[in-house]
Amino acid sequence: MTSKLIAIVLLLNGTVQLQEYSYVGTIHECFDMGEKLRIKTSTYYDQNNTWYLNDGSGTWQGFICK
């Protein structure tokens, strides 16, 4: 069982930000939740091969399930 999903975000000023979300479930469910969170909070731009946050604050770099 995992208890946290941690989103890794790179802000436009160069700062890496870790955003924690409480989560209880299996590792596979956590991966699914991370994928859904990425799609909900960011938009993919093929020309740059990058997921940009919808609020314009930076880019989505990934997530960790703990």
Name the one residue in this structure whose structure tokens are 């991370």. 34
pLDDT for the residue 7: 98
Name the one residue in this structure whose structure tokens are 């890794």. 8
- What's the pLDDT tens digit per position in 28-60? 999 999 999 999 999 999 999 999 999 999 999
Domain count, the chain: 1
Containing domain of residue 10, as a range? 2-65
Name the one residue in this structure whose structure tokens are 């997530």. 63
pLDDT for the residue 3: 87
pTM score of the predicted model: 0.89
pLDDT higher than threshold 90 for residue 5: yes
pLDDT confidence band for 14 (50 / 70 / 90): very high
| Whether the Cβ atoms of residue 57 and residue 11 lie closer than 8 Å to each other | yes
| Whether the Cβ atoms of residue 65 and residue 34 lie closer than 8 Å to each other | yes
